[in-house]
Structure 1
Amino acid sequence: MILAFTGAGISQASGIQTFMERPDIRDHLHRDFAIENPEEYRKTLRNLVDVVEQAEPNDAHIALAEYKIPILTMNVDGLHQSAGSESVVELHGGLPTEDEMDYADQLYNKPVLYGDPAPNYYKAITKVSALTEDDIFLVIGASRFTQIAVELREIAHYQGAEIIEIQEDAVREVRYVLEQEFKNK
């Protein structure tokens, strides 16, 4: 079995900058900021939603869907689902709908903010803990800047799974790796 773990790097080719490239957005995704600056927070989310709505899944997203790879993602952009993936655990939730935007500062898990509990972390840890030495943990565009990203890699390693990292050129590399793995099966 292959289990994919994706971060912002997979969506860069779709026109979505990482939060490391956009500290103006990252700095506003804190629960304290949302409480103290609800209007500015909602404006930040509207801008983020506008960017995401313009984005299309790239071939990395499409390849994962075609090969029916289950996905754990730190992304809130919904591109895995748009590509057709059916088994997606969104570690940081999703984005508010247009109807929810007027009270987005009061929502939880849309997205998970810094300072909020992340209820899907347990689901991710459970899935990675089920890996064996016969499995592959495919890490795509996920840095080691968050504790969960480090922890999931450590659990996969402890379980004996092969860890394959794709941090550059995910659009080309994901399909190549999947083709190789399925050719060898």
Structure 2
Amino acid sequence: MDGLTIRAARPEDYERLGELTADAYLDDGLLDFGAEDPYLDVLRDVRHRAAHADVIVAVGGDGTVLGGVAFVGGPGPFANIAGDGEAEFRTLAVAPDGRGRGVGGALVHECLDRARALGRDRVVLSTQPMMHAAHRLYERFGFVRVPERDWSPVPGTALLVYALDLERA
């Protein structure tokens, strides 16, 4: 995408990224309790993510944050599913005006580059079953389903796991 910059999120990006992440989940119907869902507070709290992960943003030519993702370099307190030799990414979100313009792909590509730079063998991620556009994006990169690793963070919420072996990618 022309004019797109991928970079580390800055504190002045946090509010915009938090709102666009929350809005993406709300607009796509991904929250059980809609605008009252307590997970919205987690989605908006980019400062917390940035304290525990590398928060990366995609910025348009005009300086507007169009999307972001939290990259977790390996197992640890902020990793949901990464094991030895694995990195993961979380909360990938793209604003409506960034969709279909390569923003999501650019963010995934950055996560893969970071995982390779750390010497990781694999990148893993969790996704909701109804995130069909995200599944297509991940599959274009070569991610495959790993159903034996599917999990549930809270009762009634099932998450699917995808993985990409970096040697094959």
Higher relative contact order (CA 8 A, sep 6+): 1
> TM-score normalised to the size of structure 2?
0.33
> TM-score normalised to the size of structure 1?
0.31
Greater share of strand? 2
